[in-house]
A and B are shown apart, each in its own frame.
Chain A
Amino acid sequence: MTIADPTLPLAPTNAAAPSRTPSKFVDFCRQQPLGAVSFLIIFAMMFAGIFSSLVAPYDPLTIDFASLLAPPSADHWCGTDAYGRDICSRLIYGARTALVIGFTSSFVGSSLGAILGIASAYFGGRIDAWIQRFVDILLAFPLIVLALVVVAAFRKFSVGGVDINLIVAIAIPILPRVARVVRAAALSVRVAPYIDAARAAGYSHTRIIFRHMAPNVVAPYLIMLTAFIAQAILAEASLSFLGLGVTEPTAAWGLMLSGNAADFYRQAPWMILFPGVAISLAVFAFNLFGDSLRDFLDPRFKV
């Protein structure tokens, strides 16, 4: 119940309520200008990835031995590689590979990690202890090392040209990291009265976890998801560079840095320069966007 202050003029009742989404977005841009810039970079990357066949000036797989190692020019903005393939087009198509693998593995890893973290917090006791020891074991390995182990242990398996074992390899190391953070958030939710009420009402564990606890840990989940996209893109590039990721002639940024690039980087530095910039920019953008989102959403960061 609210009491109107008689000294203040009442807002006109027929005034249209301001649209919620644009104001949030504008607020975000005003409060987090670096976040807005990073969002623009991500948007450009997503646009290039989705519409690569329209945006790319050349087919990324077409070999042109007449243009081997051509320097950047009006015809080839980023030059060509050792097969005469247009580097700019391969970067644009590479954005698709980075996004598909980066987003999917981050989504799978973060979602499974979130479920594990909430379940661990909800059940507590022995289940919590076992899950957390398992998480401890996984956390003992650096992300790239664990991804290397997983990708080396399983045979390559792809569906529709998407490397499934690569996605799994990157998702597994993400899982414990998200589980640990989400568990911490879920622990405070577990003791909330409405959870006790749900229990008292006889709701199932599944319903309590997914309907009542999960929505209340969405903020840390989203922040982790965004932050791990950058890590996943970097992991994909690293694995491809080591020859364990996607296979030639697929356009992928990490792959563009390996193979012939190592032989010709002195003669044709653009072969490593542009993919390197693309990876750095993408990682920078996703990390910055994740940080900005946290600062924007977390009430503790607001005065």
Chain B
Amino acid sequence: MKITRRTALQGTAGALALGMSGFDWDFTKANAQAPNVKRGGVLNFAISAEAPHYDPAGSDTYATLHFAAPFYSTLLRFNLSKFPAVENDLATSYTVAPDLMTYTFKLTPNVKFHDGTALTSADVKATYDRMRNPPAGVVSTRQATFADIGTVETPDPLTVIFKMKAVNASMLEHFASPWNVIYSAKDLAENPAGPRTKINGTGPFIFVEHVKGSHVAGKKNDAYFKKGFPYLDGFKGIFTLQAAAMLNAVQGGQVLGEFRGISPAERDRLVQTMGDKIRIEESSWTLNLLVCFNVDKKPFDDVRVRRALLMAIDRWGGSVGLSKISTLRSVGGVIRPGSPFATPEAELVKLPGFSKDIKKSREEAKKLLKEAGQENLKFTLWNRNLAMPYTPAGIFLVDQWRQIGVEVEHKQSDTGPYLATMNAGNHDVAIDFSNLFMDDSSLGLAKYLSIGRSPENRSRSKDEMLDKLYDDHLRERDPEKRKAMIRAFEKRVFEQGYQQPLLWWHRIVPTHKTLMGWKMSPSHNLGQQLEDVWLNV
């Protein structure tokens, strides 16, 4: 039998179910002290976008997570030293039933929210219920992920049991999602939309202030449930919307790092000017930019128009050029290239929009536009006002579409209005993003589900065939059959052309060598609680 990550995970889950049910590992007793750790100090780091709101459960931008993660905890989290293995956060132990239908979590005792109230299983239930069934006025971008949860039971204040309606082979990893921060049930009862504007978590840092256009600040949580953590006295996340300002701040030492990622040219500049004072870490990235058509608007309700526009894009040529000047790099389908379930290049080139014969592809695109009566098509491309890599992507797309005679106006906006416009369906065509924290297809495919199930589907498409394929693939435990279902899903998405990955990113993170304990991973959503970060000064 071939051992894959998934079968290993299932085996581990079984072992946990059998062996760990009576095992209580109290994180609070763990010795937090790493060798030579220096305590104290305030970490200043750059955030290249300002959070549109404070609620990670209703967001899919890192701007929210880099802002809010240090204030919160999750049930489980990814162990970045052994990625994608998961480890406890608020949970002290967990068991998974062999049939994957029941997940039981024991919570760490004596955990306090920053307002002084105790965390209980009721808070976990309220948080997950809000994500599964968001009340009116609440947006949950995790709704599709947790649709398979049947009930959440709380037999005692420190036990939470998730009973599934159907098997979801990736559920354990979803419990480690950095977006699923635990809110206070009391706060949610008072105002279900409260987390958008108010922060009250159990994380290593307590919210101090958010000065719009300037920074977010947090101070050490002395009552943090992991004894000895955090090492820092506080942090300040400084909004540096301009790449040049961010680089100058890193270079001048005003900030000690930018944890999202910079371009190759920016990396070279920092290395050249800072020499051995700067640490550069690189990785492939669980993140891609998407070309997203609003199918509620004409003429993008016509599949011929969407396909024509996708076929005009020379991704293979673009990846060569754009990788030299931006964080965009790999050509791939809906799953990160190079990961186990990714579509190989030989199959990818047969899908619409991925042909290597761009001349022929563009001729066909022109024919499709003519058939659709859209030879003089003009529209607005809605884009995010982030230099890297949104601006290069926008410039590239405008050029590609001009080559089939399409006139495009490129509009860029700050993160808040950019997301608000797309979420309200006011865009024609947009450069959207698929911000994943792991390679699992249950996450990667969710963005393409019908809008009713997946609010982050900004193409606003409704496709029952895709929904069914997704659900079937979640239940499938045979890796080969699952892979075939993913391929069928991908083929359907690309043939309909609701939205399609442009290019996948490459992550380059610069940090000062005085910044210690921060861990690199393929996702910029992970490892931002900052509890084990310290300053070697």
Which residues of A pack against B, CB within 8 Å?
A: 61-63, 65, 68, 82-84, 155-156, 158, 161, 242-243, 247-250, 258-260, 262-264, 266
**A243 contact from B242, B247, B317, B398, Cβ within 8 A:** B242
**A83 contact from B325, B385, B387, B412, Cβ within 8 A:** B325
**B265 contact from A83, A161, A242, A263, Cβ within 8 A:** A263
Is the pair A68, B324 in contact by a Cβ cutoff of 8 Å?
yes
> Closest approach, in angstroms, between the C-beta of B26 and any C-beta of chain A?
49
Q: Say yes or no for B189: interface residue by CB 8 A criterion.
A: no
Q: CA A156 – CA B391 in complex, angstroms?
A: 17
A243-B242, A248-B410, A262-B244 as given contacts; A68 in contact with B385, CB under 8 Å: no
Contact mask for chain B residues 376-413; partner A; CB cutoff 8 A; 1 contact, 0 none: 00000000010100011011101100100000011111
Q: CA A247 – CA B394 in complex, angstroms?
A: 10
Is the pair A161, B409 in contact by a Cβ cutoff of 8 Å?
yes
Contact mask for chain B residues 297-327; partner A; CB cutoff 8 A; 1 contact, 0 none: 0000000000000000000011011101100
- Besides A65-B320, A243-B385, 18 other CB < 8 A contacts? A62-B399, A62-B402, A63-B395, A63-B399, A65-B321, A65-B322, A65-B324, A68-B321, A68-B324, A83-B392, A83-B396, A83-B399, A158-B409, A247-B412, A250-B410, A259-B387, A262-B244, A264-B265
> Closest approach, in angstroms, between the C-beta of B429 and any C-beta of chain A?
15
A260-B265, A260-B325 as given contacts; A83 in contact with B242, CB under 8 Å: no
List residues of chain A with CB within 8 A of the CB of B402: 61-62
Is the pair B244, A83 in contact by a Cβ cutoff of 8 Å?
no
Number of residues from B at the complex interface, CB < 8 A: 33
List residues of chain B with CB within 8 A of the CB of A258: 244
List residues of chain A with CB within 8 A of the CB of B288: none
List residues of chain A with CB within 8 A of the CB of B187: none
Q: CA A161 – CA B410 in complex, angstroms?
A: 10
**A247 contact from B247, B263, B324, B411, Cβ within 8 A:** B411
**B410 contact from A62, A155, A247, A266, Cβ within 8 A:** A247
Q: Say yes or no for B269: interface residue by CB 8 A criterion.
A: yes
Q: CA A273 – CA B488 in complex, angstroms?
A: 52
Q: CA A251 – CA B479 in complex, angstroms?
A: 51
Is the pair A263, B395 in contact by a Cβ cutoff of 8 Å?
no
Which residues of B pack against A, CB within 8 Å?
A: 241-244, 247, 263, 265-266, 269, 272, 317-318, 320-322, 324-325, 385, 387, 391-392, 394-396, 398-399, 402, 409-413, 417
> Closest approach, in angstroms, between the C-beta of A170 and any C-beta of chain B?
20
Is the pair B411, A156 in contact by a Cβ cutoff of 8 Å?
yes
List residues of chain A with CB within 8 A of the CB of B325: 68, 82-83, 260, 263-264
List residues of chain B with CB within 8 A of the CB of A82: 265, 325
> Closest approach, in angstroms, between the C-beta of A178 and any C-beta of chain B?
32
Q: CA A280 – CA B384 in complex, angstroms?
A: 31
**B321 contact from A62, A83, A156, Cβ within 8 A:** A83
Is the pair B395, A156 in contact by a Cβ cutoff of 8 Å?
no
> Closest approach, in angstroms, between the C-beta of B356 and any C-beta of chain A?
15
Closest residue to B318 on the A side, CB-wise?
A65
Q: CA A63 – CA B266 in complex, angstroms?
A: 21
Q: CA A152 – CA B265 in complex, angstroms?
A: 29
Q: CA A258 – CA B387 in complex, angstroms?
A: 10
A262-B243, A263-B265 as given contacts; A248 in contact with B399, CB under 8 Å: no
**B398 contact from A242, A249, A263, Cβ within 8 A:** A249
Is the pair B395, A249 in contact by a Cβ cutoff of 8 Å?
yes
Q: CA A155 – CA B420 in complex, angstroms?
A: 14
Closest residue to B272 on the A side, CB-wise?
A266
**B391 contact from A63, A84, A242, A248, Cβ within 8 A:** A248
List residues of chain B with CB within 8 A of the CB of A248: 391, 394-395, 410, 412
List residues of chain A with CB within 8 A of the CB of B391: 248, 259
> Which 6 A-B pairs rank lowest in CB-CB distance, beginning with the nearest?
A65-B321, A263-B265, A63-B399, A262-B244, A249-B395, A82-B325
- A-B pairs with beta carbons under 8 Å apart, 24 shown: A61-B398, A62-B399, A63-B395, A63-B396, A63-B399, A65-B318, A65-B322, A68-B321, A82-B325, A83-B321, A83-B396, A242-B242, A243-B241, A243-B385, A243-B387, A249-B410, A259-B391, A260-B265, A260-B392, A262-B243, A262-B244, A263-B243, A263-B263, A264-B265
Q: CA A264 – CA B263 in complex, angstroms?
A: 12
Is the pair B321, A63 in contact by a Cβ cutoff of 8 Å?
yes
Q: CA A258 – CA B417 in complex, angstroms?
A: 23
Closest residue to A82 on the B side, CB-wise?
B325
List residues of chain A with CB within 8 A of the CB of B413: 156
> Closest approach, in angstroms, between the C-beta of B53 and any C-beta of chain A?
19
Residue of A156, A158, A248, A264 with highest tally of chain B CB at under 10 A? A248
Is the pair B399, A263 in contact by a Cβ cutoff of 8 Å?
no
Q: CA A286 – CA B325 in complex, angstroms?
A: 36
> Closest approach, in angstroms, between the C-beta of B406 and any C-beta of chain A?
12
List residues of chain B with CB within 8 A of the CB of A83: 321, 325, 392, 395-396, 399
Q: CA A250 – CA B385 in complex, angstroms?
A: 15
List residues of chain B with CB within 8 A of the CB of A242: 242
List residues of chain A with CB within 8 A of the CB of B387: 243, 259
Q: CA A263 – CA B325 in complex, angstroms?
A: 9
> Closest approach, in angstroms, between the C-beta of B217 and any C-beta of chain A?
23
Residue of B272, B321, B322, B409 with highest tally of chain A CB at under 10 A? B321
> Closest approach, in angstroms, between the C-beta of B422 and any C-beta of chain A?
15
List residues of chain A with CB within 8 A of the CB of B320: 65
Q: CA A67 – CA B242 in complex, angstroms?
A: 27
> Closest approach, in angstroms, between the C-beta of B1 and any C-beta of chain A?
46
Closest residue to A81 on the B side, CB-wise?
B325
List residues of chain B with CB within 8 A of the CB of A260: 265, 325, 392
List residues of chain A with CB within 8 A of the CB of B417: 155
> Closest approach, in angstroms, between the C-beta of A237 and any C-beta of chain B?
16
List residues of chain A with CB within 8 A of the CB of B265: 82, 260, 263-264
List residues of chain A with CB within 8 A of the CB of B241: 243
List residues of chain B with CB within 8 A of the CB of A262: 243-244, 247
Q: CA A266 – CA B268 in complex, angstroms?
A: 11
List residues of chain B with CB within 8 A of the CB of A61: 398-399, 402
> Closest approach, in angstroms, between the C-beta of B247 and any C-beta of chain A?
8
Q: CA A135 – CA B389 in complex, angstroms?
A: 43
> Closest approach, in angstroms, between the C-beta of B380 and any C-beta of chain A?
10
Residue of A63, A155, A161, A264 with highest tally of chain B CB at under 10 A? A63
